[in-house]
Amino acid sequence: GAGVSQSPSNKVTEKGKDVELRCDPISGHTALYWYRQSLGQGLEFLIYFQGNSAPDKSGLPSDRFSAERTGGSVSTLTIQRTQQEDSAVYLCASSLDSGRASYEQYFGPGTRLTVT
Amino acid sequence: DQQVKQNSPSLSVQEGRISILNCDYTNSMFDYFLWYKKYPAEGPTFLISISSIKDKNEDGRFTVFLNKSAKHLSLHIVPSQPGDSAVYFCAASPSYQLTFGKGTKLSVIP
């Protein structure tokens, strides 16, 4: 079956512009997660969705970052007024449930964002 | 403050030998630990996990050991193969939120 897909795979944008990153999770997965990986760093948790609601937004680095999920499926991560420090690989993952980490998270290939 | 640490950024091993990747954590609330493998331009893929009620979990060539008192876990790959060359991430969690280390780049030399 299809895995997690993300688009675009690469995005170059000018400082100050808004960007939207898209994630299509595995069909039937109710939990969806966004992470980012900056150069030389581990994966940093941003936000997770259970269905369409986001119980935990604690990882979002600033109010320029927002995310939504519709129909319990596709999710969009929006970064407003991008800054150079936003440059990173943004990874999406999905799992059957969010109740326990034992529900394996399947990752997409990521979107590489470069802010110039 | 890094809660999950992988102190070796890279490791080189001869094909056929054992690869040992190490991970230390500080948060005593972590009760589930995972290893992910990542190839360039791909997302991480799940490799093996262990619950805190165990001290060892084995899956084929991969074995994860957990030492709770030392807050240390390790991944053993035996025998190492060139296709194992990738970046390996250790992750830990008390629930849904995974906390990742910075990764160790493993190179298996033919």
Residue B11 has pLDDT above 70, yes or no: yes
Give the separation between CA A104 and CA A94, rounded to whole angstroms. Answer: 8
Q: Which of A84, A82, A88, A91 is nearest to A110 (CA)?
A: A91
The pLDDT tens digits for B12-46 are 999 999 999 999 999 999 989 999 999 988 899 99
In chain B, which residues have their Cβ closer than 8 Å to the Cβ of A35?
Answer: 100
What CATH number has the domain bearing residue B51? 2.60.40.10
Q: What are the residues facing B28 on neighbouring strands?
A: none
> Are B51 and B62 within 8 A, CB to CB?
no
Nearest CA in chain A to B32: A101
| Closest chain B C-alpha to A26 CA, distance in angstroms | 14
pLDDT the model gives residue B78 = 97
The fold of A5-100 is Immunoglobulin-like (2.60.40)
Q: Do B97 and A99 lie within an 8 Å CB cutoff?
A: no
Residues 27-66, chain B, touching A (beta carbon < 8 A): 32, 34, 36, 41-46, 49, 51
In chain A, which residues have their Cβ closer than 8 Å to the Cβ of B91?
Answer: 43
Burial of A44 (0-12, 13-18, 19+ CB in 10 A): middle
Give the separation between CA A31 and CA A96, rounded to whole angstroms. Answer: 6
Structurally, chain B folds into a number of domains equal to: 1
Interchain CB contact of A98 with B (< 8 Å): yes
pLDDT bucket at B98, cuts 50 / 70 / 90:
confident
Interchain CB contact of A106 with B (< 8 Å): yes
For A18, A80, B66, the CA distances from B80, given in Å and listed in that order, are 45, 45, 21
> Which residue among A91, A101, A108 places its CB closest to the CB of B93?
A101
Range of the domain at B105: 4-109
pLDDT the model gives residue A101 = 56
Task: Specify the higher pLDDT residue, B98 or B58.
Answer: B58
pLDDT bucket at B101, cuts 50 / 70 / 90:
very high
**Pairing state between β A10-13 and B10-14:** unpaired
**Pairing state between β A10-13 and A111-115:** parallel
pLDDT the model gives residue A56 = 81
- How far is CA B24 from its chain centroid? 10
Q: Taking chain A (116 residues) in consecutive chunks of 10 residues, what is each chunk's mean pLDDT?
A: 90 97 94 91 89 87 94 94 96 81 82 97
In chain A, which residues have their Cβ closer than 8 Å to the Cβ of B99?
Answer: 45
The pLDDT tens digits for B46-82 are 999 999 999 999 999 999 999 999 999 999 999 999 9
